[in-house]
Chain A
């Protein structure tokens, strides 16, 4: 059974960098699939942040691209998110998820999700 678990600080100060890690168990990141980050502000909808392959290939949401870095550590079977220059608008539950990929390399939907972690941006 594929399981994902987010971890990281629950409180980040404005203008600082948000850093989260997603540990994957039950499946080797190196075996395939992309691995993504999605966020959900309190009481609001879902926003895709970006996704990464075990090779390091990434796709980012254009609206966040200038502030986002997603990296992968296959030796630890985990991937990470960094979001710089955060503001209160970045307060959200952050989810990591497995991003299904087709044989053509096309990215599709998200089939396994972590439980999510709330990150609050406040001084």
Chain B
């Protein structure tokens, strides 16, 4: 199984400041034949379902503000919110889809306003 970990567990950032969330996989999710990282990011606000933000580690889903960006490769990935807005308060999850035997999510990182 590919185990996903995230850090920090939670963070508080001032409005307009940068928020950085890390995600690490227990083995590489980079598929060598197409040079793509099989990793997605989701945002979950209280009482709502997860919302897809980013896939292929860095491709923003349609309609997602460009203050959200994803980076990284292999086993280490980052979700960055360049200028935190009040509506960005949520829990953020990473998910690997490299292993079709078992799709796994990270434990989540809670983002709050400082």
Q: Which residues of A contact B (CB under 8 A)?
A: 45-48, 59, 61-62, 95, 97, 100, 106-111, 113-116
- Near A by CB (< 8 A), chain B positions 32-61 give 38, 40, 42, 48-52, 55, 61
**Pairwise interchain contact A46-B100, C-beta atoms closer than 8 A:** no
**Number of residues of chain B lying within 8 A (CB) of chain A:** 22
Contact of A106 among B40, B48, B100, B102 (CB under 8 A): B100
Chain B residue numbers with a CB within 8 Å of A62 are 101-102
Name, among A45, A61, A95, A113, the residue most crowded by chain B CB atoms within 10 Å (CB to CB).
A45
Q: For A59, A95, A108, A109, which residue has the most chain B Cβ atoms within 10 angstroms?
A: A109
A108 is contacted by which of B48, B97, B104, B105 (Cβ under 8 Å)? B97
* B binding-site residues for A, Cβ under 8 Å: 38, 40, 42, 48-52, 55, 61, 93, 95, 97, 100-108
B105 touches A46 (CB 8 A): yes
Q: Which residues of A contact B51 (CB under 8 A)?
A: 113
Known contacts A45-B93, A46-B93, A59-B100; decide if A110 and B52 are in contact (CB<8 Å).
Answer: yes
- Chain A's closest residue to B106 (CB) is A45
Inter-chain contact A47/B49, CB cutoff 8 Å: no
Q: How many A-B residue pairs have CB under 8 A?
A: 52
Complexed CA–CA distance, A31 and B14 (Å)? 45
Q: Which chain A residue lies CB-closest to B55?
A: A109
Query: Are A45 and B61 in contact, with the CB atoms below 8 A?
Result: no
CB distance from B21 to the nearest CB of A (A): 14
Chain B minimum-CB-distance residue to A63? B102
A109 touches B49 (CB 8 A): no
Q: Given A45-B93, A46-B93, A59-B100, are A110 and B105 neighbors across the interface (CB < 8 Å)?
A: no
B49/A95 in contact, CB under 8 A: yes
**Which A residues are in CB contact (< 8 Å) with B61?**
111
The residue of chain B having its C-beta at the shortest distance from the C-beta of A61 within the complex is: B102
